[in-house]
Structure 1
Amino acid sequence: MQTLPSKNPTRARPWLRFAGLALVTALAALVWDALTPRSEARFALHMIPHHAQAVEMARMLQSRTDDATLQATAADIIATQQSQIEQMRTWLPVWRRPLMGLLRHGLSPRQVAEMGMASEAEMRAFAALTGREAEARFLQLMIRHHQGAIAMMGPALEAAQNPAARRLLAAMAGSQALEIESMRQLLDQRGGEPLEPPPAAGHPH
C-alpha cells in the first residue's frame, strides 16, 4: 500500500500564517494601547471625583434652601454632571488599569485646591449652614469648582484625540462657563463675593 505524504496544514494553507501574524500584531497593538496613557483617561480619572463632589454639594443644597431658582440650579447640576460621569466612565475600560495609580491614594490637598474643589473643612462648614447662608456659600464654592473644571478642560481638549471626548469636553466647558455667570448673579443678589479662583490651571499633578 502506498503511503500518502502527510500534509502540512501551514504549508498547504499559507494564509493561516498571515492570519496568525495579523492576530498577534493586533493583540500587541491592543496591549500597547492599554499601556499608553491617554489624555482623555487622565482627565476623566480626575474629573469624575470632581463632578461627584459637585453632585454631593448640589444635593446638600436641596435640603438647605426653599429658593425655587436654586433648587432648579441644584437639580440641573445633579442631572448634568451625573450624566457626564457616566459618559466619562465609558472612556476608561481600556485605560483604567495603568492609570488607576494616579488616584490610588485619593486626591492630595494640593490637587483639590488646583481643581477648585472644596476641602473637607469647607464641606463640613457648608453642611452646618441653612437658608441664605447656605445658598451664598454653595454659590461661592460652586463658582470656584466650575472655574477649576474649565481650567482642566482647556489642556485636555487640546490633547484629546477621541472625537466623542472632544465633543463632551467642549460641551462641558461651554455649559459651565454659562453656569458661572448665572451663579455670579445669584450670589450678587445675596450680597456675596466670589472666592479666589483656583491657584493653577491644567491637569493636577
Structure 2
Amino acid sequence: MKRFAVPAALLSAGLLVSACGSTDTATRDMSSTSSMSAMPTESQDPATSPAADHNDRDIWFAQMMIPHHRQALEMAKLAEGRAAGSKVKELAKQIEAAQDPEIQMMTGWLESWGVQAPGEDGMPMDHTDHGMPGMMSGEDMKKLEGLKGAAFDKAFLTMMIQHHEGAITMAKEEQGAGIYEPATQMAGSIITSQSAEISTMRKLLK
C-alpha cells in the first residue's frame, strides 16, 4: 500500500500543475484576444473620404454643361450686332451674365476633382454630342450667324428655347443623381432661371 501512495501523490500533483498550466495558457489567450479586439481599427467609411463629396453624375454634369453654356454664350454674343428688338438684346446680355460665371465655377470643380475640363488643352467639344440635349449643330450656328433683324430675332428665340430646354433636362438629371451640393444647387438655379427665360422668349415670339 505504501508503494502506491507516493506515485499517487505525485500523479495528483502532476495533474494539478497541468491544470494550472492549462488555465494560465487559456487566460493568456483570452487576454491576448481581448487586447486585439480592444485595439482601434482604421475607419474606411467611404462617405467621409475626400472623394465621396462628388460622384460620376456630378462630373458628367460639369463636363456637359460647360460646352452647353459656351454655345449659349456664342449665340448671345451674335445678338449684339444682329438683333432688331431691344428686349432680345437684353435677354442675350442676361444669358451672358448668368452663364459665364457658371462656366468658371464648373471648371473649378473639375480641376479640384482632377478631371480635365472640356475645351482645355485641345480637348474636343462636339456640339452634336447626344449627351447634351438642346445643342445646336454647326449648320444651325452658321445659319444664325448669317441672319439679321427680325429674322435673327425669331431664329435666336426659337433656338434658345430649345437650348434652354436641353439645359433644364440635364439639370434635372443632376438633381436626381448628383451628390455634390454646389452642383445640385446650380442645377436648381438653372431650372428656375432658364424656365423663366423660356416663358419670356415664348412671349417675345408671339
TM-score after normalising by structure 1: 0.68
Partner of 1:111: 130
What are the within-5 Å matches in structure 2 for residues 1-205 of structure 1? 33=51, 38-97=56-115, 104-107=123-126, 109-111=128-130, 115-188=133-206
Structure 2, unmatched stretches of 5+, are 1-41, 43-48
Paired residue total: 158
RMSD of aligned alpha carbons: 2.8
Larger mean Cα displacement after TM superposition, 122-131 or 155-164: 155-164
Q: Distance in 1 between matches of 2:75 and 2:69?
A: 10
Greater Cα radius of gyration, structure 1 or 2: 2
Counterpart residue identity of residue 56, structure 2:
R
AA partner of residue 85 (structure 1): I
CA contact (8 A) 1:37 1:95 kept: no
User: Aligned pair in 2 of structure 1 residues 182, 163: CA closer, same or farther (>3 Å)?
Assistant: same
Contact 1:118 1:145 in 2 (8 A): yes
SS in 1 for 2:156: helix
- 5+ residue gaps, structure 1, are 1-21, 23-28, 189-205
Structure 1 residue ranges, 4+ long, deviating more than 6 angstroms after superposition: none
Which is helix-richer, 1 or 2? 2
- Quote the Cα distance in structure 2 between the aligned partners of 1:104 and 1:89: 13
Q: Distance in 2 between matches of 1:97 and 1:83?
A: 19
Q: 1: CA distance between counterparts of 2:67 and 2:117?
A: 15
CA distance in 1: counterparts of 2:137 and 2:168, whole angstroms: 19
Q: TM-score by structure 2 length?
A: 0.68
